[in-house]
A and B are shown apart, each in its own frame.
Chain A
Amino acid sequence: MLNIRNLHARIDGKNILKGINLEIKAGEVHAIMGPNGSGKSTLASVLAGRKEYEVTEGSVDFLGKDLLDLSPEARAGEGLFLAFQYPIEIPGLSTTNFIKTAVNEVRKYRGENALDAVGFLRLMKEKMAIMNIDQSLLSRSLNEGFSGGEKKRNEIFQMAMLQPRFAILDETDSGLDIDAIRIVANGVNKLRNKDNAVLVVTHYQRLLDYIVPDFVHVLYNGRIVKSGTKELALELEERGYDFIRSENHIGEEVK
């Protein structure tokens, strides 16, 4: 589904991603862990098409298309979704109006008819129940004045509404209490099927108790320095990132 080869990216002349290789197949859940500043959000942003990041080398294939060649909106149309680490506040734009526009634009991209008011409402009600989201939140300006938890739930709600093929969750768990984490995980698990894939970026192992990954990768200083199964996440939790650091010659290892 997604094949990242030797991806290098920089911002403001600073190299952040230094050769990422990662293949994600349909039906899989991957987790990326790593210390602050290692480039996790950068990877997510590059995949979603943020133009401030310059890709200097490498390629990304998504469902047979050259992902890096597509506009952010086309990537969404193709089925990519990024749950932002820091969702943006948009004053004056109601959350409902935003989501309705997004849903119908994505449908249009896929050559489907726009949902009518009734169809949209039905879909929304269904997903609101899953995400435990209140109507009053959706009539407010997008993310404006939302609590941290509300913003994160709203991200996953959008994901549920857009039904992407491939979703990236950038630290969706940070700042959430355990109940909220369960709700978020439940939303993600509802999306999972043999045709979809998820990339979970997280600091903590606890989210992975609920969204069980098939593979865990450690991103360090712009490179994936270690990959393993879900046991790796437990090991990281126990020993911290220092044990990664102490494994010598990280740089050379992944060349």
Chain B
Amino acid sequence: MNTKEYFKEQFEQSNVQDRNNLLDVVRRQAFDTFSKLGIPGAKHEEWKYTRISGLFNKEYSFGVNLTQDPLTQADIDAIRLPGHESANELIFINGRFSAQLSIVRSSQLIVLPLEEAARGEYRQLVEKHLGHSSKYQKDGINALNTAFVQAGIFICVEKGQVPDHPVFIYNVADAKAVNVLSQPRTLVCIGEAAQVQIVETFSTLGSQESFTNQVMEIIVEKDAFVEYYKIQNDKANAHQVSTTHIRQIGKSHTHAVTISLNGGMVRNNLNVVLEAAHCEAHLYGLYFQQGSGHIDNHTVVDNVEPNCLSFELYKGIMDDASTGVFNGKIFVQPQAQKTNAYQSNKNVLLSREASVNTKPQLEIFADDVKCSHGCTVGQLDEEGLFYLRSRGIPEKRAWSLLLQGFTMDILEKIKSPAIRTYVDGLIAERLEFRSHGQQEID
């Protein structure tokens, strides 16, 4: 079946009619957009190197609760990140929030079904911010998520509140029986002077195809601080487009770290819109891909107001026949004088089959700004390798140490020691395994 027709049928079945229901209105609009744009193909400027349209040749089940035997607490235990035993746990299964499996432990944290937030006291916030990412993600895949918003959530940290535990979001896809399309949706509002730590991860169960099309929109108010971690270590049958859209609407601070270690075709969109003067945003990313994995990080830092500082560093290690894309946009709008924006992307290729396409994109409309960008793609330093070997360290071990060293300046940006140790362990394990296998580069 044609993709558009398939989704049209699904959309009509979901009965989105109510003109007085905010979500219905938003969804219908988004569906119209999707109908026009469809799934982005290789001709779309932003999707040149990441071809998701092919993945839609398969049929996916979605929208209904597919799970034959519902997931249990034991399933969740198996995918839980180590440490933070008292974290707040929000669990999505096949894109739908599961209140039953989720636990909110911090009294400073409000978690509501998005439908409820759109009807109640948070209606204005939802109306104002839900779907703002579409101004940056002008494509059918973003619209597709919005068109099918169902069982999404609204997270709020009210003015001055600091939840005593981080918020862990587990996106679980149950692909044991059928191919599954998951479309989790979250809107987060971080009130004035509030602080929160969000950690997101993705897990696919079973070996059928899993496609996750996720959108999270985060609003950061004056004097607020958000720490956001995305940890992707899923299987080769797990594909995803994961959009994180952060609006800093008051003078505030964002610290985002994206770690991508595994998966099939993975596309991340990270947008940070600096809508108030003196905002600060730090964006870090580390990807280490193997097999035929594909990792695409598209980032946008949009300086709307003056005197903002953004610092961005993404580093990649590409092994086997993996492919990578980095596209970093920095916009400096006419009134955003005294912008400081730094961007850097560094890649190491471990095999001749691996490749990276990296592209900084600066669009500067103000004159008094400091912007810099740089990217490198190369092999590891032979001099360093010789230095280590000359001290008795065998070649493969020396490689591992150099690669681990390469990841270090990103890893140390993970402020939670438990998460940092966990990620470091995953990398060390992979390097250890690699150093016992065949060496591609002599």
Task: Please measure, in the bound complex, the distance between the C-alpha atom of A106 and the C-alpha atom of B30, giving whole angstroms.
Answer: 64
CA A71 – CA B396 in complex, angstroms?
12
Cβ of A73 and Cβ of B393 under 8 Å apart? yes
Q: Determine which residue in A71, A88, A109 has the highest number of CB atoms from chain B within 10 A of its CB, and name it.
A: A88
State whether A87 touches B387 (Cβ < 8 A).
Answer: yes
B386-410 contacts to A, CB under 8 A, are 386-395, 397-398, 401-402, 404-409
The residue of chain A having its C-beta at the shortest distance from the C-beta of B387 within the complex is: A88
| Complex interface: chain A residues within 8 A of B407 (CB) | 92
Q: Chain A contacts of B395 at CB under 8 A? A: 71, 73
Query: Cβ of B384 < 8 Å from any Cβ of A?
Result: yes
Residues of B within 8 A of A88 (CB): 381, 383-384, 386-387
A102, B391: Cβ atoms under 8 Å?
A: yes
Distance in angstroms between the alpha carbons of A47 and B174 in the assembled complex? 59
Chain B nearest CB, measured from A49 CB (Å): 7
Question: Shortest beta-carbon distance, A67 to chain B, in Å?
Answer: 13
A92 close to B392 (CB less than 8 A): no
Once the chains bind, are A72 and B386 in contact (CB under 8 Å)? yes
The 8 A CB mask of A49-81 against B (1 = contact, 0 = none) is 111100000000000000000011101110001
- Are A72 and B390 interface neighbours, CB within 8 A? yes
- 8 A-B pairs with the lowest CB-CB distances in the bound complex, closest first: A92-B408, A92-B405, A76-B392, A93-B405, A106-B392, A102-B391, A72-B389, A88-B387
- A243, CB-defined interface residue at 8 Å: no
Asked if A48 is an interface residue, CB under 8 A from chain B, the answer is yes
Within the complex, what minimum Cβ distance (angstroms) separates B360 from chain A? 22
The proximity string for B residues 403-421 relative to A, scoring 1 for CB distances below 8 Å and 0 otherwise, is 0111111000000000000
Check A227 for interface membership: any CB of B closer than 8 A. no
List 18 other contacts, CB 8 Å, given A73-B392, A84-B387: A49-B390, A51-B386, A71-B394, A71-B395, A73-B389, A76-B389, A76-B391, A81-B390, A84-B390, A88-B381, A88-B384, A90-B384, A90-B402, A93-B401, A98-B388, A98-B391, A101-B401, A105-B393
Complex alpha-carbon distance, A97 and B409, angstroms: 16
Q: Which B residues are closer than 8 A to A by beta carbons?
A: 381-384, 386-395, 397-398, 401-402, 404-409
Query: Are B405 and A91 neighbours in the complex by a CB distance under 8 Å?
Result: yes
Q: Which chain B residue lies CB-closest to A86? A: B383
Q: A50–B386 contact, CB under 8 A?
A: yes
> Which residues of the partner chain A approach B391 to less than 8 Å between Cβ atoms?
73, 76, 98-99, 102, 105-106, 158, 162
Which residues from chain B contact A48 at a C-beta distance below 8 Å? Answer: 386, 390
Contact A90 B390 (CB under 8 A): no
A91 touches B406 (CB 8 A): yes
Give 23 pairs: A residue, B residue, CB < 8 Å, sorted on A: A51-B386, A73-B389, A73-B392, A76-B392, A77-B392, A81-B390, A87-B387, A88-B386, A88-B387, A90-B387, A90-B402, A90-B405, A91-B405, A92-B405, A92-B408, A93-B404, A98-B391, A101-B393, A101-B401, A105-B392, A109-B392, A142-B405, A162-B392
* Chain B proximity mask over A201-223: 1 for CB below 8 Å, otherwise 0: 00000000000000000000000
Contacts of B390 in A (CB 8 A): 48-49, 72-73, 75-76, 81-82, 84
The answer to whether A105 and B406 have CB atoms under 8 Å apart is no
Is A141 engaged at the interface, CB distance under 8 Å to the other chain? yes
* Chain B residues with CB below 8 A from A158, complex form: 391
- Summed over the interface, the residue pairs from A and B with CB atoms below 8 Å come to a total of 85
A93 → chain B, closest Cβ, in Å? Answer: 4
In angstroms, Cα B391 to Cα A97, docked, is 13
- The answer to whether A73 and B394 touch across the interface, beta carbons within 8 angstroms, is yes
Query: With the chains together, A72 CA to B386 CA distance in Å?
Result: 8
Do residues B405 and A141 form an inter-chain contact, with CB atoms below 8 A?
A: yes
Known: A84-B387, A101-B401, A105-B397. Is A91-B409 also a contact (CB below 8 A)?
A: yes
Contact indicator A49/B387 (Cβ below 8 Å): no
Complex: A71 Cα to B392 Cα, angstroms = 9
Q: How far is the CA of A72 from the CA of B389 in the complex (A)?
A: 6
Q: How far is the CA of A33 from the CA of B187 in the complex (A)?
A: 71
* B337 CB to nearest chain A CB (Å): 33
Contact residues in A for B393 (Cβ distance below 8 Å): 73, 101-102, 105
A111 to chain B, nearest CB (A): 13
| Residue of B with least CB distance to A50 | B386
Min CB distance A116 to B, Å, is: 18
Q: Which residues of B contact A99 (CB under 8 A)?
A: 391
Per the bound structure, the CA–CA distance linking A82 and B389 in Å amounts to: 11
Q: Could you say which of B382, B386, B390, B406 has the most chain A C-beta atoms within 10 Å of its C-beta?
A: B390
B-side contacts of A75, CB under 8 Å: 390
Report how far A90 CA is from B386 CA in the complex, Å: 12
Cβ proximity bits A145-170 to B, threshold 8 Å, 1 near / 0 not: 00000000000001000100000000
Contact string against B for A residues 100-134, beta-carbon threshold 8 Å, 1 for contact and 0 otherwise: 01100110010000000000000000000000000
Residue among A52, A76, A109 with the highest chain B CB neighbour number at 10 A: A76
Q: How far is the CB of B411 from chain A (nearest CB, A)?
A: 8
Chain B residue numbers with a CB within 8 Å of A97 are 401
- Within the complex, the shortest CB–CB distance from B42 to chain A, in Å, comes to 36
- Closest B residue to A101 by CB, please name it: B393
Please give, as numbers and ranges, the residues of chain A lying within 8 Å of B398 by CB-CB distance.
73
From A52, A101, A158, residue with most partner B Cβ within 10 Å: A101
A71–B389 contact, CB under 8 A? yes
A43 to B391, CA, bound (A): 18
**Closest A residue to B382 using CB positions:** A52
| Assembled-state Cα–Cα distance A78/B142 (Å) | 61
Bound Cα distance from A109 to B391, whole angstroms: 12
